[in-house]
Amino acid sequence: MKGMNDGTFHKGYVEHNILDWMPYTQKPLDIGDSIELPLMCPSSMISPMQKHIIHGAGCILVLEYSYFCLQAQANPKEVISFAVEEYQHSGIQDTVVKALQQAINEHKKDHSKLQHAIINIILENHMSNKFKVAHKATGEA
């Protein structure tokens, strides 16, 4: 991964790689000139590896939530802004950052365990759970 090999953090490269994994939407997501994601990790972090992991996890969570919001034919720029606000102000970001920092400290020498811990943290905190709760509340499948 660019940035990891040279010991630096490249925010845009992380975002671009994550977008490559996202499924096709009616209104494609395009991060760059039109949509700017904020840094999803504390700016006080020194380690490039921690920045990659925490910013990457935040981007995955925000973009996953945006994907489901976009199914309602909303404006991608507005949806991503909304998803970022939800992530930052709902307490999910704080929970994810703390859990990832703990996982990094606990598994820093075992990358396989660290990868599994990161995936589990993302799965446990994905914001599209709100859609499942909304469907259950309205009686939809």
- Residue pLDDT, tens place only, 2-20: 445 566 777 777 777 776 6
Cα dist from 135 to 62, 87, 102, 128, 141, whole Å = 20, 21, 33, 11, 6
Which residue has 């606000």 as its token pair? 85
What per-residue confidence (pLDDT) applies to 2? 47
Q: How confident is the model at residue 67 (pLDDT cuts 50, 70, 90)?
A: confident
Per this entry, what is the length of the chain?
141
**Residue predicted with more confidence, 46 or 117:** 117
pLDDT at 136 over 80: no
Domain-by-domain residue ranges, the chain? 11-21+43-138
SS3 86: helix
- Which of 118, 43, 102 minimizes the C-alpha distance to 11? 43
pLDDT cut 90: percent of the chain above it: 38
